[in-house]
A and B are shown apart, each in its own frame.
Chain A
Amino acid sequence: MYPFRTLPENLIAFSQFLRQRYAFRIGPSETHDAARALGIVDVSDERMVRDALRPILSGTAREAAAFDRAFSEFFFAGPPGVPQSNLPRPRAAVDRNADGADKAVQQHVKSGAGDAEPDERHDAAPGPVAPVEVGDASTTAPPLVLRSSYSPFDADASESPELTAVDREWREAARSFVRRLYLGLTRRWRPSARGRRFDLRRTLRASLQTGGEALAPRWRRRPRRTPRVVLLVDGSRSMSDHARAALHLGVAIATATLRVEVFIFSTALRRVTDDVRRAAAGERRRLERLQQAWAGGTTIGACLADFRRRFGDRLIGRDTIVVIASDGLDVGAPDLLREAMHGLSRRSAGILWLNPLLETDGYEPTARGMRAARPFIGTFASVTSPASLARLRVNLKSAI
């Protein structure tokens, strides 16, 4: 049933399985803790082993939710006849006769330290991946099973946009844009050369240099709040050219601040922040597997509601500026859009709607979707060039 004979080997293989198949972030120290925990609980009780390993090996709600399935998949492999070759082999040549769990794990810790490199983990796709190692064909190892999926859409990559690095002009415009997003001051007082509040502690400390006489007063002030920008790009067919421009804007903003999140939506919502950040770092990236979210009709309201439900708690706060790049041609229900916009505007610092159609002479935002969203939009503009970004003034809720 288990791939290996001894407990530590199984544990190491399980950790590797979680890392590769489910993109868990497990380092050697977690594996070590897991081994210690198994020394504490009753190993013959399956449920208890699950309950003990879950808190150690998972780190986020997503991982905790995936854990039980992964556990069953690994230790109680599916119906008989399904080969288990998709189990990763531990890279270290682990001594099968190792007498203690700790010893084997320690060994792994040494040899497998490279696995914990952040880059490698970053690359790990969250979905299933093909096994990297195959057992020797000569032994009794079961035949290799390669899992792959075929999607006719994948072949047509011409539709998906390419992200490229931005030039200096854009970077400067973006920096000036981010700098001008003024949200008031934080609640935290920081030491500073000039400030509004007298810092008795630091003044007294400084007075030690002058023989106990406080000659130089020290001050504290409250620094500015750092804004967070959430960019939601409409990737529907009617927007296709403009969406590329909007993503370019996203890349430019990502060069100016780390606090940026980018999403694409049409009939589904997809987070592309990682791609945008990499593009900002100078990499050329083609957005892949976007077909569902790229070049179709738009249900803006449903997508915004989906965004609020999935990411709203974490990303929308009073430091957040929501930027929506869309032409407002919505095929969904206007009520849904109104409701979603209301929710976003209530909790964020302000909504900036970038509508490329504004460039068109005589355009009036009278589309159904646009009419529903209009009351909640703080700033309605169009950004097509660095100059227009630099000129842009964003209305934000009055800072505290």
Chain B
Amino acid sequence: MIDAETIRQRFRERGFIADAAFATALQIALALEKPLLIEGPAGVGKTESAKVLADVLGTRLIRLQCYEGLDAMAALYEWNYPRQMLHARLSESDGSSVAEREAQIFSEPFLLKRPLLDAITQEQSPVLLVDEVDRADEAFEAFLLEVLAEWQVTIPELGTIRARHKPHVIVTSNRTRELSDALRRRCLFLWLPYPTLGQEIDILHARVPGLSDRLAEQIARFMHVVRGLALHKAPGVAESLDWAMALMNLHRDRLDAEVVEQTLGCILKVHEDAAVLRAHRDAIDPIVGGAPAGSAPGGYALDNDFGAGSVSAKRG
């Protein structure tokens, strides 16, 4: 059995900074063989955690992306009708009996496995990621419950297929709708919040190699403040990483008001949010190095064009 400390360490080796609560929840979920329902704001690494878990356990990741209109057929299995028809036509004249032909048509090669069936027919317990379950409708949720409880699927033509190895299940939700109590009760629950300041600095270092300490800290502090504002769409860790990458590509080693303005698209995805941010300059200016770039002596932004051409600079 894998313990929480090992999980943390292996996750860290793969660039995923997990806190103790997260690692313990995973350990318990693995030990009790129960699905783990992870909720949290967008972009905090819910999906990523399942990918890393599969990597840590050295097993396959099978992903069921939920969407509106997802039905049992698309999640479970489907017969390959065109192939069955073709086979039936081609084997009409080869002298085999009807029973033989039927057995051929309804056999494994004509079965299209969808993620759930795929997950229970693996030789080794895979990690089954049911992503954004809140996007599927209630009917699908009920169906999912049945599969999660029984781990068996009945195909009328083939019989009942039972899981030889129970998959490790991670269910994620973005809370766009309230999940049913029944689903919650089947799962262990983990709330994955935004990382703390220290954690975010760790994450930035782990995921963006070569990032300077100062920039990492500035980004983390900036994000910390920004998430506290009343924004339409608060930036997640994914946005921090994008932003750090962008700043690295622009060869910046520190934040200033101007570069923040230029790269705002990395972190704020709604137009109105930019106005909110500008309204709270007093909270942000101390982080981005005091005075706005315009009044900085020497106008250091000018010689940082790097041939990009589109970088505009104002001299105070």
Contact = CB atoms under 8 A, between A and B. Distances in A.
A312 to B, nearest CB: 10
Nearest to B20: A51
A51 B21 contact: yes
A129 interface: no
Interface stretch (B118-126, B172-180, B302-310): B172-180
Contact of B4 (A48, A56, A309): A48
Interface stretch (A87-95, A171-179, A184-192, A281-289): A184-192
Interface of A: 25, 27, 29-30, 33, 36-37, 40-41, 47-48, 50-52, 54-56, 58-61, 63-65, 186-189, 200-201, 204, 305, 309, 313-314, 317, 339, 343
B51 interface: no
Contacts of A50: 21
Nearest to B139: A188
B176 A200 contact: no
Contact of A187 (B20, B34, B68, B73): B68
Given A60-B189, A314-B175, 17 more contacts: A25-B184, A37-B32, A40-B27, A40-B32, A41-B4, A47-B20, A51-B24, A52-B25, A54-B25, A55-B189, A55-B190, A58-B189, A59-B181, A59-B184, A186-B137, A201-B81, A204-B81
Interface residues of B, number: 41
A55 B20 contact: no
A41 B181 contact: no
Interface of B: 1, 4, 20-21, 23-25, 27-29, 31-32, 34, 36, 39, 67-71, 73, 78-79, 81, 137, 139, 174-178, 181, 184-185, 188-191, 230, 232, 272
25 contacts: A27-B185, A33-B32, A33-B34, A40-B27, A41-B4, A47-B20, A48-B4, A51-B25, A52-B27, A54-B25, A54-B190, A55-B189, A55-B190, A56-B28, A61-B191, A63-B189, A64-B190, A65-B191, A189-B71, A201-B73, A201-B78, A201-B79, A314-B176, A314-B178, A339-B272
B185 A313 contact: no
B176 A313 contact: yes
Nearest to A200: B81
Given A48-B4, A187-B68, A317 B189 contact: no
Contact of B24 (A48, A189, A201, A314): A48
A59 B182 CA distance: 10
Contacts of B272: 339
Contacts of A36: 31-32
A52 to B, nearest CB: 5
- Counting from the closest, the 5 A-B pairs by CB-CB distance are A187-B69, A51-B24, A55-B188, A59-B184, A188-B69
A317 B176 contact: yes
Contacts of B81: 200-201, 204
Contacts of A41: 4, 24, 27-28
A313 B24 CA distance: 29
Nearest to B177: A314
